[in-house]
Amino acid sequence: MSLQEKLLRLFSLDQKVRGIQGRLDSATNRLKVQQTKLSQLHQQRDELLSQLKLGQAKASSLEKEVEDIEQRIEHMRQQMQSVKSNKEYSAVLLEANTLKANKDSLETEALEQLNHVESLAQDLNQILERVAQQEKLVTGAQSEVQQCRDEVGKQLEELTAQRSEAEQDVPEEVRLTFNRTAYMHDGATMAPVIEASRRHLEYNCGGCYMTIPVERVNATMVASETQVVCCPNCSRILYIDQELKTSIGCK
């Protein structure tokens, strides 16, 4: 097997591995998106729960204050029955009225607080419903990932092994170039030389479609076993397919 054939074999396996890995990655990414949404909803739920607790505590402390004032007013009513002078009576009455006014405003506050608590509880219910729905979506995405793993896991393992084997067949320097270019172009590592015009000796890169100097095309034709020729523009590793090789060879 020539270096070009070895590289094309590696390229084909690399693309298969990437294709399968891509399917797994997108399933995993979809799961991550759903999990992130779920954890945002959990945060909102926890925040609402703590607001609700605070609100309930505040409401019951207001109610307690109202009760205390009621008791004090009741105590004053009894006091009034035993007052001995008008002056004393007026003083107790004034105090009782002040307490009543306080009580009214506390009651209003307590009512507002209870309304607030009620609306928090409604919000919390809505969030809990959304949490439940989101949990279903997460479960769905989890089984999608699992299903994908079940379907392609074994195949991916085999292809990955074949890919490493094919990689070992290629000289180290070329392997480095291959992997660097693969990384740079997301797997679109190799590109065929495309003949634009034989008469004008014009050739293009099948990856970026820019012109390739004819010396590079010739260098690609010469089957080196240690070196590859890359596109001067996009750096993809160039190859000449059999059809072009034959047709150039036969010109």
Interface residues with Zn ion (CB under 5 A) are: 205, 207-208, 231, 233-234
| Closest approach of Zn ion to the CB of residue 215, in Å | 15
Name residues whose C-beta falls within 8 Å of residue 173's C-beta, 6 or more positions apart in sequence: 226, 227
CA nearest to 71, candidates 36, 37, 96: 96
CB nearer to Zn ion: give 15 or 56: 15
CB nearer to Zn ion: give 28 or 232: 232
State the Cα angle at 127 between 137 and 141, rounded to 5°: 10
| Closest approach of Zn ion to the CB of residue 192, in Å | 10
CB nearer to Zn ion: give 89 or 209: 209
DSSP state of 222: S
Bridge-partner residues for 194, per DSSP? 204
CB nearer to Zn ion: give 124 or 208: 208
Structure tokens at 178: 């291959």
| Closest approach of Zn ion to the CB of residue 193, in Å | 10
3-state helix, strand, coil in the chain (%, to 5): 75, 5, 15
Task: Return the number of other C-beta atoms located less than 10 Å from residue 170's C-beta.
Answer: 19
| Closest approach of Zn ion to the CB of residue 249, in Å | 23
CB nearer to Zn ion: give 134 or 189: 189
Q: To which residue do tokens 């084997």 refer? A: 165
Are the C-beta atoms of residues 130 and 43 closer than 8 Å to each other? Answer: no
| Closest approach of Zn ion to the CB of residue 51, in Å | 59
Grouping H, G, I as helix, E, B as strand and the rest as coil, residue 205 is: strand
CB nearer to Zn ion: give 194 or 234: 234
Structure tokens at 22: 């891509």
Are the C-beta atoms of residues 97 and 69 closer than 8 Å to each other? Answer: no
CB nearer to Zn ion: give 48 or 191: 191
CB hemisphere CA count around 102 (13 angstroms): 16
| Closest approach of Zn ion to the CB of residue 48, in Å | 56
